[in-house]
Amino acid sequence: MTSRVGVRPVLLVVGVCALLALLCLASLAFGASGLSFGQAMGGLLGSPQSRQVENVVWSVRVPRTAIGLIAGAALGLSGNLMQALTRNPLADPGLLGVSSGASFAIVLSIAVLGLRTLYGYIWFAFAGALVASVLVYLLGRLGRAGLTPVKLALAGVAVTSLLSSITSAFVLTDPDALDRFRFWSAGSLASADGDLAARILPFVAAGAVLAMAAAPALNSLALGEDVAASLGRRLGLVRLQSVVAVMLLTGGAVAVIGPVVFVGLVVPHLARILTQSAGIGPDHRWLMPLSAALAPCLLLAADIVGRLVAEPLEIQAGVLVAFVGGPVFLALVRRRRLAEL
């Protein structure tokens, strides 16, 4: 029995990594210029089959896949971190206003300050994500019952709606901002390039390190704040570390692919189901890396399906993810039956 419990986590990790590798290969193969898996691998490895295939793979498909991996991992980690920190199963960067705060700040920097480069407006994305998350937290604490999961989700919806309305007002009065915003706001990997992936990677990597380092403390926090404090956890430092990690992860992801919602909501729940089935339990030392691997799977799968169902056009990945995440969110709300309102 002990050996089976030990084998299951290894099999789980191998299975998730194999699925991610298969989706990466599919992302390299499928698109307007359809390739076989063999052609995609040949183009990736520099096989002298066709210069055109090699150009398609390296100039279009590899950057797109890399952005899907980086941004997906960022959203999965930030969603898991937010759910653990708030002990709220409905927490998600998109639902709690973090993504909309980053989006609003980016549009503000484009429309008002005329910024056009990633390094120009990414700092605004981080600041917007931070301000929005603090605002949602303060609104969620109002009322007699204090902070509850459902009130936090409702505060996130309210802040998201407000910021989205103001963002729309900016882009409708600025044709240049509208042109840049309309495609980006749907959430897509289509505009990815190698330079973009290289520029965003340091920010996401820093956020990932902070998130992974917080995993042991989050395990203690799951037992309650008093228990965590008695175990020697410095709760203020843990919260600060987690907020900085969410800011880096969400701000970086939103800056490059737009405000893709529900990835951070769905993936942590899926990770918990898998860890339970593997006999690990809700251990964030496993949940964090699993979320970082499963989220790119969801994002890349949505991107691949979007390329195929409307060929030669494509449906943005954010639209397809919403089709999956919307019903999951409603199911989670129904499960709680609004008991904490």
> Is the pLDDT assigned to residue 257 strictly greater than 70?
yes
341 inside domain:
no
9 inside domain:
no
pLDDT digits (tens, 9 = 90+) for 1-30: 344 446 788 888 899 999 999 999 999 888
CA distance 249 to 141: 25
> Is the pLDDT assigned to residue 292 strictly greater than 90?
yes
Residue range of the domain that includes 51: 36-336
CA distance 217 to 228: 8
pLDDT digits (tens, 9 = 90+) for 220-239: 888 877 888 887 888 788 88
pLDDT digits (tens, 9 = 90+) for 142-177: 877 766 667 777 888 899 889 988 888 887 777 766
Could you tell me if 233 and 226 are in contact, meaning their C-beta atoms sit under 8 angstroms apart?
A: no
Quote the pTM value. Answer: 0.85
pLDDT digits (tens, 9 = 90+) for 176-201: 666 667 767 777 887 777 788 888 89
Question: What pLDDT sits at residue 240?
Answer: 84
Q: What is the CATH number of the domain that holds 119?
A: 1.10.3470.10
Question: What pLDDT sits at residue 4?
Answer: 44
102 inside domain:
yes
28 inside domain:
no
CA distance 73 to 52: 30
Could you tell me if 123 and 115 are in contact, meaning their C-beta atoms sit under 8 angstroms apart?
A: no
277 inside domain:
yes
Token pair in block for residue 183? 């495609």
pLDDT digits (tens, 9 = 90+) for 54-105: 777 888 889 999 999 999 999 999 999 988 888 888 788 877 788 889 888 8
Question: What is the domain count for the chain?
Answer: 1
